[in-house]
């Protein structure tokens, strides 16, 4: 429940406020000033690039991505738990 609340409010910080002030990590700022090329978009392998889902608003995509990430981690834990129980 707590995790779901965090994910539900996360677009306020990750998308909305970030757009207002111009979100960048310190490393991104340094790279931008150095005009360094970020190759991420050129060699992307996932449709969920940076927590966005194509065709869905960034805010909703951010929430779904958050829930998906949590589900994957918890799911992996459950699978591992089942594996450990069997052996």
**Largest CA-CA distance found in the chain, in angstroms, rounded:** 54
Site mask, another protein, residues 7-46, x = CB under 8 A? x-xx--xx--xx-xxxxxxxx-xxx--x-xxxxx--xxxx
Helix axes 2-11, 58-86, angle to 10 degrees: 150
Closest CA to 3 of 77, 62, 66, 72: 66
**Residue of 56, 57, 60, 76 interacting with another protein (CB under 8 A):** 76
Give the shortest CB-57-to-another protein separation in angstroms.
Answer: 16
State both tokens at 20: 């207002």
Inter-residue contact 11 to 62 (CB < 8 Å):
yes
Among positions 43-62, residues that touch another protein (CB under 8 A) are 43-46, 48-51, 62
Binding-site ranges for another protein (CB under 8 A): 2-3, 6-7, 9-10, 13-14, 17-18, 20-27, 29-31, 34, 36-40, 43-46, 48-51, 62, 65-66, 68-70, 72-74, 76-78, 80-81, 84-85
């Amino acid at each position: 429940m707590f995790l779901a609340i965090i994910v539900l409010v996360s677009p306020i910080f990750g998308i909305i406020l970030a757009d207002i002030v111009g979100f960048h990590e310190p490393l991104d700022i340094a790279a931008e000033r150095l005009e360094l090329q970020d190759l991420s978009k050129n060699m992307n392998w996932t449709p969920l690039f940076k927590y966005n889902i194509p065709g869905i608003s960034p805010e909703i995509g951010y929430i779904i991505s958050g829930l998906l990430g949590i589900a994957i981690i918890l799911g992996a834990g459950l699978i591992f738990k089942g594996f450990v129980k069997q052996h």
